[in-house]
């Protein structure tokens, strides 16, 4: 069975941010709560400058439960009827959760997991400023639980925004390193959906085209940040990856990346980018035909057989990582080798993602993958 929740309205295109003001005014809000980052405040403030608005810019890294509680301390007494998130995936995740928690008697712990959120009474508008997470169209949000330092997933159709504006021009100012890491994260969303144990033909269309768009345009977007065509195509690939996250979701790459974020505070996109080729090599024997398709989507010619083609895909990913300037090993990032067993033990707890991987990943398998990625 496949269930998809799309946003109520999606606007995509270079310069569409100019229409956000009328969109917000059309909601006739009493009060608007905006979660964004400092560099974007002035650029997009026209969208709410005629309204009773509160702007929050306190999300500067991957958010935890404590960050969310701090946001709620100011959002709850303000009591907005519209919440707007403008920024990267962390900002959008927090905005989505604020909109869901306002007026909701459930405690945060009561809706950790899938399908436990009972509703959302506030309008939600999301505007991505990076091309990576796809959070603007997904039913997912991620927070680090500060009590056990584990990333926790919140999955609900009520976390899908009412209105989404995707303006690739907002990503032009994103630095090369962030562009690379977020772009490879988006590529991973598409790749893990296409090769997923529970892949769906309808989602395959999004996943395949997302891989193709990102692989053929990401290096240009990284090296020539003002290339509008490259930025637009990577943004579309990221959006398509976001559509994959609800019905199919990700798998072992994301599960193994969680400890890198929670333990060592590596950016989510960077963790996924680094691990991607190593998890591909591990998984290919159990989904060789699918990975051969992946290689073709990435721009590779078919080889003598499916395995040879699939391995070309791994090399293409490694080439993208090199050309984008992303670290290729855990050692380069200063991760101690003796942390591997602990990271593996944490990763195999992420059953909701590991169950999607075509090849099962146990503790020793996870240790082996981390060791392969070490140097």
Asked if residue 293 is part of any domain, the answer here is yes
Q: Is 180 among the domain residues?
A: yes
Spatial neighbors of 79 by CB under 8 A, at least 6 apart, are 31, 102
Does 36 share its domain with 17?
Answer: yes
Q: Are 259 and 164 in a shared domain?
A: no
Asked if 36 contacts 86 with a C-beta cutoff of 8 angstroms, the reply is yes
pLDDT at 267: 87
- For residue 43, what are the domain limits? 9-171
- Residue 139's nearest CA partner among 247, 235, 250 is 247
Q: 27 is written with which tokens?
A: 């909601």
List the one residue out of 237, 276, 285 whose CA is nearest residue 257: 276
Instruction: Tell me the pLDDT of the chain averaged across its residues.
Output: 95
Do 345 and 289 reside in the same domain of the chain? yes
Q: pLDDT value at position 50?
A: 86
Q: Average pLDDT of 173-181? A: 95
Higher-scoring residue by pLDDT: 285, 42: 285
pLDDT tens digits, 4-50: 899 999 999 999 999 999 999 999 999 999 999 999 998 889 888 88
φ and ψ at 50, to 5 degrees? -95, 5
Cβ proximity of 135 and 96 under 8 Å:
yes
Query: What share of the chain has pLDDT > 70, as a percent?
Result: 100
Q: Is there a domain that residue 264 lies in?
A: yes
Do residues 164 and 198 both lie within one domain? no
Same domain, 36 and 50: yes
Residue 308 has pLDDT above 90, yes or no: yes
Residue ranges of E strands in 70-204 = 82-87, 113-114, 123-128, 140-145, 150-155, 163-166
How far are the Cα atoms of 92, 231, 309 from residue 180, in angstroms, in the given order? Answer: 19, 12, 25
Q: Mean pLDDT across the stretch 222-229?
A: 96
Q: What is the pLDDT of residue 62?
A: 86
> Within this chain, do residues 124 and 66 fall inside the same structural domain, yes or no?
yes
280 shares its domain with 327: yes
Phi, psi of 79 (to 5 degrees): 55, 60
Confidence of residue 60 (pLDDT cuts 50, 70, 90): confident
Cβ proximity of 356 and 193 under 8 Å = no
Q: What per-residue confidence (pLDDT) applies to 59?
A: 92
pLDDT of the residue at 149: 83
> How much is the pLDDT for 131?
94
Q: What is the pLDDT of residue 158?
A: 97
**Within a domain: 1:** no
| pLDDT tens digits along 83-123 | 999 999 999 999 999 999 999 999 999 999 999 999 999 99
**pLDDT per position as a tens digit, 123-175:** 999 999 999 889 999 999 999 998 888 889 999 999 999 999 999 999 999 99
**Bridge-based pairing state of the strands 82-87 and 32-35:** parallel
Q: How many structural domains does the chain have?
A: 2
Does the structure show a pLDDT above 90 at 3? no
In a domain, residue 3? The reply is no
Question: pTM of the full predicted structure?
Answer: 0.94
The position carrying tokens 């082996």 is 368
Residue tagged 């503790």 (tokens): 363
> Are residues 180 and 270 part of one domain?
yes
Side-chain half-sphere CA neighbours of 112 within 13 A: 11
Do residues 167 and 180 share a domain?
A: no
Question: Could you give the C-alpha distances from 70 to 56, 59, 145, 351, in angstroms and in order?
Answer: 10, 10, 14, 29
In the chain, the percentage of residues whose pLDDT exceeds 90 is 90
Radius of gyration of the chain measured on its C-alpha atoms: 20
Task: Look up the CATH number of the domain holding residue 221.
Answer: 1.20.1090.10
């Amino acid at each position: 069975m496949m269930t998809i929740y799309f946003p109520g309205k999606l606007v995509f295109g270079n310069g569409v941010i100019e229409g956000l003001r009328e969109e917000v005014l059309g909601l006739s809000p009493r009060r608007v709560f905006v979660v964004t980052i400092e560099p974007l405040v002035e650029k997009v403030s026209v969208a709410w400058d005629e309204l009773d608005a509160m702007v929050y810019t306190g999300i500067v890294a991957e958010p935890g439960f404590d960050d969310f509680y701090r946001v709620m301390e100011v959002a709850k007494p303000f009591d907005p009827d519209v919440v707007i998130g403008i920024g990267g995936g962390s900002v959008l995740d927090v905005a989505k959760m604020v909109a869901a928690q306002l007026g909701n008697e459930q405690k945060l712990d009561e809706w950790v997991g899938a399908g436990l959120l009972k509703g959302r009474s506030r309008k939600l508008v999301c505007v991505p400023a990076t091309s990576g997470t796809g959070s603007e169209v997904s039913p997912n949000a991620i927070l680090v639980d500060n009590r056990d330092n584990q990333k926790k997933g919140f999955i609900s159709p009520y976390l899908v925004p009412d209105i989404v504006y995707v303006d690739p021009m907002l990503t032009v100012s994103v630095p090369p390193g962030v562009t690379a890491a977020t772009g490879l994260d988006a590529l991973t969303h598409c790749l893990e959906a296409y090769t997923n144990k529970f892949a769906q033909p309808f989602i395959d269309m999004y996943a395949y085209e997302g891989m193709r768009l990102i692989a053929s345009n990401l290096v240009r977007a990284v090296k020539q940040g003002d290339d509008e065509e490259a930025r637009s195509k990577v943004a579309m690939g990221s959006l398509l990856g976001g559509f994959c996250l609800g019905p199919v979701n990700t798998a072992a790459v994301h599960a193994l990346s969680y400890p890198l974020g929670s333990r060592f505070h590596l950016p989510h996109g960077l963790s996924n980018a680094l691990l991607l080729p190593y998890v591909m090599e591990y998984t290919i024997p159990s989904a060789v035909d699918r990975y051969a398709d992946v290689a073709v989507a990435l721009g590779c010619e078919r080889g003598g057989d499916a395995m040879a083609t699939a391995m070309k895909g791994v090399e293409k990913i490694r080439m993208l990582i090199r050309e984008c300037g992303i670290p290729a090993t855990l050692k380069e990032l200063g991760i101690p080798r003796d942390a591997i067993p602990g990271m593996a033990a944490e990763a195999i707890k992420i059953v909701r993602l590991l169950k999607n991987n075509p090849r099962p990943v146990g503790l020793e398998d996870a240790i082996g993958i981390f060791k392969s990625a070490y140097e």
